[in-house]
């Protein structure tokens, strides 16, 4: 059976059948009843079309992210897809390089009922401008998976870890090992993605005997090249850090590479901690100590929260916090004697 046969049996056009499925509120009750009867009589996709017809939904969720190839999103998408299969939804993935026209188009898909809701994964807002947010977003089911990347998205419900607390605990772990000079490789300047992680680092350092040192914080731009530059800068300080905490695992990988390139050892000379526990963290050399984000759980909860909004429930604006944990591997150890700082600087001079 096809949609054409459903239309013929109901005595309507194919476009009318499509409108009944996607925008039932725009169709006369008599026509709706005829199309529903035809769907049931023909048995045409009863598990999808008929159910969506009754609910007035498309059964389609739009997931917007900047790059589907980033390792971190594997677990998140696995969680989203698992709940989607369980609840009968289909997932449409759209990548965007911060292109606002594209994002506006995605939002229009929901407004025109081509999709039921939007999940945004570390991507700019699907709605341009605060005035549009106040009118459109209240009618558009949107949930953020992980952090918001712009201030205008602060009031959109999200599912994430407590980045500030997680970062503070990772820094405290290094302090408990005996490190006092702890560098931090942040994201881009002003990046909301890593802002709370930087704040957590400062929370812990302020409470330490050494206190906070702004020169120990260097922007790594959330890239491998940026983190390598940041590591070189930290190693060239008069008192080089004995430990480096990176705002994500990718930058931690780059830091370890640069440390080894300088003739230093991890963790014997410098300890390194990451954030995220991506798929490469456990097989690095050495395996990386890092903050674990439960990515699959984040995906599952994000999807369930969105479905709740689609079904008309008030899901509020407060973030839903999931628990993180610090997994200790071989990239961290107590610091050597204080002569290690001198050795690091001598190594940096040899490589200059």
- The pLDDT tens digits of the residues spanning 44-67 come to 654 455 555 555 677 889 998 887
Residues 191 and 67 in one domain: no
- Position 190 pLDDT exceeds 80: no
Q: What percent of the chain has pLDDT over 90?
A: 56
Domain of 119 in residue numbering reads as 60-156+296-322
- Per DSSP, what are the bridge partners of residue 120? 64, 144
Q: For residue 338, give the CATH number of its domain.
A: 3.40.50.2300
Residues 214 and 184 in one domain: yes
DSSP H helices, 207-322, are 224-235, 249-261, 295-310
- Residue 85's closest CA among 119, 48, 56, 112? 48
Residues 343 and 203 in one domain: yes
Residues 25 and 98 in one domain: no
What pTM did the predictor assign? 0.78
- Per DSSP, what are the bridge partners of residue 65? 95, 121
Residues 129 and 169 in one domain: no
Chain segment 169-185, per-residue pLDDT in tens? 999 999 999 999 999 99
Residue with the larger pLDDT of the pair 203 and 101? 203
On whether the CB atoms of residues 238 and 203 are closer than 8 A, the answer is no
Residues 317 and 243 in one domain: no
- Is residue 340 very low, low, confident or very high in pLDDT (cuts 50, 70, 90)? very low
Tokens of 156: 């959109």
Number of domains in the chain: 3
Residues 245 and 340 in one domain: yes
Query: Cα(149)–Cα(126) distance, rounded to whole angstroms?
Result: 12
Residues 107 and 40 in one domain: no
Tokens of 338: 């204080």
The phi and psi torsions of 6 (rounded to 5 degrees) equal -60, -45
Residues 237 and 342 in one domain: yes
Q: Which residue has the tokens 């026209």?
A: 101
Tokens of 51: 């159910």
Domain boundary among 12, 35, 55: 55
Average pLDDT across the chain, whole number: 85
Residues 233 and 142 in one domain: no
Residues 337 and 232 in one domain: yes
Residues 144 and 208 in one domain: no
Q: For residue 38, give the CATH number of its domain.
A: 1.10.260.40
Q: What is the pLDDT of residue 328?
A: 98
């Amino acid at each position: 059976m096809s949609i054409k046969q459903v239309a013929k049996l109901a005595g309507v056009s194919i476009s009318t059948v499509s409108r009944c499925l996607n925008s039932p509120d725009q169709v006369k009750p008599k026509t709706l009843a005829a199309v529903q009867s035809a769907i049931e009589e023909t048995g045409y996709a009863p598990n999808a079309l008929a159910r969506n017809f009754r609910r007035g939904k498309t059964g389609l969720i739009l997931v917007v992210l900047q790059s589907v190839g980033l390792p971190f999103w594997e677990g998140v998408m696995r969680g989203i897809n698992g709940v989607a299969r369980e609840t009968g939804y289909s997932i449409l993935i759209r990548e965007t390089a911060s292109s606002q026209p594209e994002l506006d188009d995605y939002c229009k898909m929901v407004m025109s009922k081509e999709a039921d809701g939007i999940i945004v994964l570390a991507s700019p807002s699907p709605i341009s401008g605060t005035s549009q947010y106040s009118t459109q977003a209240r009618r558009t089911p949107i949930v953020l998976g992980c952090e918001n990347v712009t201030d205008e998205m602060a009031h959109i419900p999200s599912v994430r870890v407590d980045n500030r607390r997680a970062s503070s605990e990772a820094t405290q772990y290094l302090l408990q090992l005996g490190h006092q000079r702890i560098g931090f490789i942040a994201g881009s300047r002003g990046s909301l993605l890593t802002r709370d992680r930087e704040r957590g680092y400062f929370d812990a350092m302020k409470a330490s005997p050494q206190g906070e040192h702004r020169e120990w914080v260097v922007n790594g731009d959330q890239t491998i090249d940026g983190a390598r530059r940041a590591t070189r800068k930290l190693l060239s300080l008069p008192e080089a850090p004995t430990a480096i905490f990176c705002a994500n695992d990718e930058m931690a990988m780059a830091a370890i590479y640069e440390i080894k390139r300088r003739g230093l050892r991890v963790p014997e000379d410098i300890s390194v901690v990451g954030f995220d526990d991506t798929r490469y963290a456990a097989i690095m050399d050495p395996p990386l100590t890092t903050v674990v984000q439960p990515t699959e759980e984040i995906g599952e909860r994000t999807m369930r929260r969105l479905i709740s909004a689609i079904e008309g429930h008030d899901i509020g604006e407060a973030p839903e916090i999931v628990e993180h944990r610090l997994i200790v591997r071989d990239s961290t150890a107590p610091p050597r004697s204080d002569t290690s700082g001198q050795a690091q600087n001598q190594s940096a001079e040899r490589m200059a």
